[in-house]
Amino acid sequence: MRVLVLRPEQTAARTARKLAALGHETVCLPLSKPEHDLDAVKAALAERHSAIAITSAEVARLFGRLGDAIDRHLLTTVFSVGQASADAASAAGFRTVLTPGGDGRDLADMIVAHCRDFGMPAEPILYLAGVPRARSFEARLAEAGIPFRTVEAYRMVPVVPRRTEAEAALLKPVPDAVLFYSGESARAFFTLSPLVEIPERFLSTLMLCMSANVAKAVPQRFAASTVIASSPNEESLLDLL
């Protein structure tokens, strides 16, 4: 299958290797890129906190850019959503990384259960977040009365491909499937010129979505070819191919 990947360049390369191992042809068309706020993360780590929470592997990759500033925090417990984020945090040197799999709500539920078993933390949990993001993780912690502090560690900035780039990726030939990891990338995809001008060319293209929330960004006319992963992780998404 010819599979279109819309992820940022670095993560798209990793996905492309996985797709190649499965025997698929990959076309990469990044529609966003991360901008890290290292100063904000360093300042946040310098303040007292009981644990660190991350809901994106992008934050874990950011740890590798902090140099010595991260060393004295490596014994701090990290609560991480998903195995990819957990693996990246472990690779950065953190000794204790806990993950439930699933999404931000699942991570919050795990933290609630942890606090029920071991007591409420004396210091807030430091949540290193991205922009944009879903608010379910923060809402669940607030609902449970667990102290936390949100610091925006990175921002996903839109990338608008040139028309020639979009046409080469989308029309030469039309992809058999598109992988949507976020609602933002899905919304950006459907504003590309080929989708606006000749949407009927893509009615047989599989629109593969990481979650039901992501699928909400797919226009109704493509509902028949939209498929949602059984779990919100890349392994389940690729299983749809």
Same domain (yes/no): 79, 123? yes
- The rounded mean pLDDT for the chain is 93
Q: Which of 157, 181, 209 is the last residue of a domain?
A: 157
Residue 235: how many other CB atoms lie within 10 Å: 13
For the chain, the domain total comes to 2
Q: Which of 135, 157, 179 is the last residue of a domain?
A: 157
Listed in sequence order, the residues at least 6 apart from 36 whose beta carbon sits closer than 8 Å to its beta carbon are 62, 65, 153, 154
Residue 10 confidence (pLDDT) above 90: no
The percent of residues above 90 in pLDDT, for the chain, comes to 80
Return the higher-pLDDT residue of 103 and 52. 52
Residue 26 confidence (pLDDT) above 90: yes
Same domain (yes/no): 164, 153? no
Residue 98 confidence (pLDDT) above 90: yes
Name the band, by pLDDT with cuts 50, 70 and 90, for residue 177.
very high
CATH of the domain at 98: 3.40.50.10090
Same domain (yes/no): 79, 141? yes
Do 5 and 24 meet the contact criterion of CB atoms below 8 Å apart?
no
Burial class (CB in 10 A: 0-12, 13-18, 19+), 75: exposed
Q: Which of 157, 183, 204 is the last residue of a domain?
A: 157
The percent of residues above 70 in pLDDT, for the chain, comes to 100
Same domain (yes/no): 134, 228? no
Tell me the residue range of the domain where 213 lies: 2-31+159-238
Q: Residue 125: beta bridge partners?
A: 51, 148
Is 0.85 topped by the overall pTM? Answer: no
| pLDDT tens, position by position, 47-74 | 999 999 999 888 888 888 888 889 999 9
Residue 122 confidence (pLDDT) above 80: yes
Same domain (yes/no): 151, 228? no
Same domain (yes/no): 40, 18? no
| pLDDT tens, position by position, 190-234 | 999 999 999 999 999 999 999 999 999 999 999 999 999 998 889
Same domain (yes/no): 90, 179? no
